Amino acid sequence: MPDGEARVPQDARLEVWAPPGLGEVRPGDDLAGVVGDLLEREALAEGDVVVVTSKVVSKAEGRVVRAADREQAITDETVRVVATRARPGGLPPLRIVENRLGLVMAAAGVDASNTPEGTVLLLPEDPDASARRLRAAWRARFGLDRLGVVVTDTAGRPWRDGLTDIAIGAAGVAVVDDLRGGVDAHGRPLSVTVTSVADEIAAASELVRGKATGRAIAVVRGVGRFVLGGDGPAGDGPGARTLVRPSADDLFREGSAEAYARGYAAARAELSGEVAPDPPR
């Protein structure tokens, strides 16, 4: 639909469920086949979205490293440090960083939960590409045209306590709903409203998957107005990478302590006639 045109569902009903039965995924597993077997009994329909946690994608793609190498893995995945905070008890410092996918996350998204003892998981190499491969396999297997796939991970958010799942990969989904240029229910112009549909789908799926239930797959039904059909780039859509705000546009590029330290250093440099360091990019 054109930007600003209201996408009103014919039946304002959302169904989200997480099928049980997915066993431990291991490096080299055919994830499309394994999850496809699980989805056989779910009677997928046109316009459905299959949500897959990044953990099972990472496991299948072999993105597993030894737990002893976690700190080095965080360093390797880091593009830019946003904030670092000391932790008690001799624990390594907490690092909030921008990782190579452009995501700002604690520990660069390197995760020790829901993975075999002694290992940690890196995020998928290219979550959008992973989503595209899964979508292609399941469209062919189930004879569907309009089928979406969202790959999720858990992240914190500025200004808010608690964690939520977000979309880090997507295929077959219009990842945003741009209402700018339209009007609200009272006829007032909408000038800034761009809804992150893919993130909302990811968050809804976590409500039925949980964190410790072993359910890494969910099906979301009722958002078909955002689900694309067809092959190639037009059918796959723009992907979740387009949801990442460029760091140059980020008003909170640094933690408060880091911003203070840089400002203090710049002031000292100015007073001494030295050249102050450029801000991080």
Report pLDDT digits (tens) over 22-77. 989 999 999 999 999 999 999 999 999 999 999 999 999 999 988 888 899 999 99
Are 146 and 75 within one domain?
A: no
Are 94 and 68 within one domain?
A: yes
CATH number at residue 55: 3.30.1330.100
Are 183 and 213 within one domain?
A: yes
Whole-angstrom distance, CA of residue 81 vs CA of residue 23? 36
Are 144 and 206 within one domain?
A: yes
Are 133 and 117 within one domain?
A: no
Are 119 and 141 within one domain?
A: no
The set of residues, in sequence order, having a beta carbon less than 8 Å from that of 15 and lying 6+ positions away, is 219, 220, 221, 222
For residue 212, give its domain range: 1-61+124-250
Are 14 and 30 within one domain?
A: yes
Which residue in the block uniquely carries the two structure tokens 């808010």? 160
Cα 232 → chain centroid: 22
Are 72 and 48 within one domain?
A: no
CATH number at residue 72: 3.90.1660.10
Determine which helix (DSSP H) or strand (DSSP E) holds 134, and give its type and residue range: helix 127-142
Query: Model confidence at 4, in pLDDT bands (50, 70, 90)?
Result: very low
Are 48 and 104 within one domain?
A: no
Is 16 part of a structural domain of the chain?
yes
Q: Which residue has the higher pLDDT, 281 or 260?
A: 260
Q: What is the pLDDT of residue 5?
A: 44
Is 32 part of a structural domain of the chain?
yes
Are 47 and 171 within one domain?
A: yes
Q: Are 123 and 168 in contact (CB under 8 A)?
A: yes
Is 262 part of a structural domain of the chain?
no
Is 176 part of a structural domain of the chain?
yes
pLDDT surpassing 70 at residue 276: no
How far lies 59's CA from each of 203, 211, 242, 243, in Å? 21, 16, 24, 24
Is 267 part of a structural domain of the chain?
no
The last residue of a domain, from among 75, 101, 123: 123
For residue 53, give the nearest of 126, 103, 127 by alpha carbon.
127
Is 9 part of a structural domain of the chain?
yes
Is 263 part of a structural domain of the chain?
no
pLDDT surpassing 70 at residue 275: no
Q: Considering its fold, how many domains does the chain have in total?
A: 2
Is 257 part of a structural domain of the chain?
no
pLDDT digits (tens, 9 = 90+) for 87-118: 898 888 999 999 999 999 999 999 888 788 88
The last residue of a domain, from among 74, 89, 123: 123
